[in-house]
Amino acid sequence: MNKQGTVEGAANTESGSRVFVYEVVGLRQNEETDQTNYQIRNSGSVFIRVPYNRMNQEMRRITRLGGKIVSIQPASALQQFNGKTSLGIPNIEGNGQATPVNAPAEQQLTKKDQKGKTMTQAKGKKDAHADVPVNTYRPNAPFIGKCISNDPLVNEGGIGIVQHIKFDLSGSNLKYIEGQSIGIIPPGVDKNGKPEKLRLYSIASTRHGDDVDDKTVSLCVRQLEYKHPETGETVYGVCSTHLCFLEPGAEVKITGPVGKEMLLPSDPDAKVIMMATGTGIAPMRAYLWRMFKDAERAANPEYQFNGFAWLIFGVPTTPNILYKEELEEMQAKYPDNFRLTYAISREQKNPQGGRMYIQDRVAEHADELWQLIKEEKTHTYICGLRGMEDGIDAALTAAAAKEGVTWSDYQKEIKKAGRWHVETY
């Protein structure tokens, strides 16, 4: 099912044909940007052409990559000649993908175009997390940490390999908070003979680490495995395979931390809705430890969670419920503050008789979730496979419509208010 906003956008042919140019600064080099056709400069701007129907998606991607949108300019406002703009930005390609282009520094967009029209500036809200640590260690100067432990999270009979890996940060200045990510640079070279680029992973531990001694960071990593579309052979992810089979004592190159999109509110009375699939549980585990673990609560006298947390967790089989014992122990100890709901796709059925996915659980509880989301103290976090977003939106669209509210509009409002947090891949 499509999002309501997507359907409306497609129907509006005039809007659907419009193209905008984003001026972006601060993009970091990582696995995703490495797959594009342009370089990320250490400073200066990157100009990205974006069709109207991809604007929100591209904004989220830029934010996820650490970029800041300086301005948004309709491409039609730029002087065109020979199929190119005055900035040397090629016309959008027929595949509808954003085409990023670096413009020389002397050609960067000014506040007004040649006709004197004021450009639309991206209205950045005041950064409520200005003191959050970011990029303490960069790719050209990573911290060399050591693997302390590497434990399997998938029980017998489960699908795939997922590991909980703990790293020693002793001797580093690397501080982080719940909801951030770190980069891992695997050893060796890529297919072009260049050093491997970093890969980002959501941190699965609190700022104090699993041992609550401020000396470790933990990740939840699934070994990437897929069939090559042409040869049919099994291909394994370079970095995820390296990490999943890392021996205790082995060194690893760590960068970061990065990210401010998934940070918890500081209000201990907040209501927190969490929707996760697979290793998307990583930041949720960090939140829940901060909220409910005894040692964590003792280490955070200024933050004693008294609110309500609801985790909806999608996995293929029961043995794939990552951190199952931890989650159920916290639920048993704090039944009034923590609600735990599973969507086990290969074992449970949705009302139509198909597999029970996370979006089906959201649909099942849509009215209740909608009432919670409307409360000003509620923050919603979504992490995992991007495919679940449309189903979640469809369920909440139906619930909101019962009260005459357009979900796509309301969602924009709570995003702007910093209460809707998404990190999907």
Reported as a single tens digit per residue, the pLDDT across 164-208 is 999 999 999 999 999 999 999 999 999 899 999 999 999 999 999
- pLDDT band for 65, please (50, 70, 90 cuts): confident
**What is the torsional sign of CA 326, 327, 332, 338?**
positive
CA distances from 355 to 12, 157, 163, 234, 352 (A): 34, 19, 26, 26, 9
- 32: closest CA among 386, 287, 284? 386
CA distances from 283 to 177, 209, 278 (A): 10, 13, 12
Question: Which amino acid would we find at residue 18?
Answer: R
Residue 343 has pLDDT above 60, yes or no: yes
Q: Tokens at residue 286, please?
A: 């960090």
Residue that wins the pLDDT comparison between 86 and 309:
309
What is the rounded average pLDDT of the residues 63-79? 62
The 10s digit of each residue's pLDDT in 72-124 is 656 654 433 333 333 333 332 233 333 333 333 323 333 333 333 332 333 33
**What pLDDT is recorded for position 150?**
98
- 20: closest CA among 53, 43, 42, 46? 53
Average pLDDT, the chain: 81
CB 40 within 8 A of CB 27: yes
**What pLDDT is recorded for position 249?**
97
Lowest mean pLDDT: which of 118-132, 258-272, 280-294? 118-132
**What pLDDT is recorded for position 131?**
84
Strand, helix or coil at 61?
helix
Residue that wins the pLDDT comparison between 294 and 230:
294
Positions marked active-site: 201-202, 383, 423, 425
Residues of the chain with pLDDT > 90: what percent? Answer: 65
